[in-house]
Amino acid sequence: MNYRDYKNFSEQTFKQDLREELECIKSSDLNYDSFQNCFEKVLDKHAPMKKNYARANDGTFMNRALRKAVMLRMRLKNKYNKSRTVQS
């Protein structure tokens, strides 16, 4: 799933950067495609695209306790894989 990260989004700086970017485009070259490219460029700078992966093991039987147990198992497994020692 793709989404935009608006965590550090500032509307004023976005508008200012978009205005500056549009001023660089000549009025004769301004069409929908150039506007879209300009807008997406500024939007990618201020609200970058991120990906979120849905887990496949979320069945109807998965409750909170089972989900936490799976997360603990994966966290410990990743910790072991990084250090490759029994005591971590």
Q: Tens digit of pLDDT for each residue in 1-15?
A: 899 999 999 999 999
Q: Where are the domains of the chain?
A: 2-51, 56-88
Summarize pLDDT for 77-86 with one digit per residue, the tens.
999 898 887 6
What pLDDT is attached to residue 29? 77
Summarize pLDDT for 17-55 with one digit per residue, the tens.
999 988 888 777 778 888 899 999 999 999 999 998 776
Note the pTM of the prediction, 2 decimals.
0.57
CA–CA gap between residue 68 and residue 62 (Å, rounded): 10
CA–CA gap between residue 9 and residue 21 (Å, rounded): 17
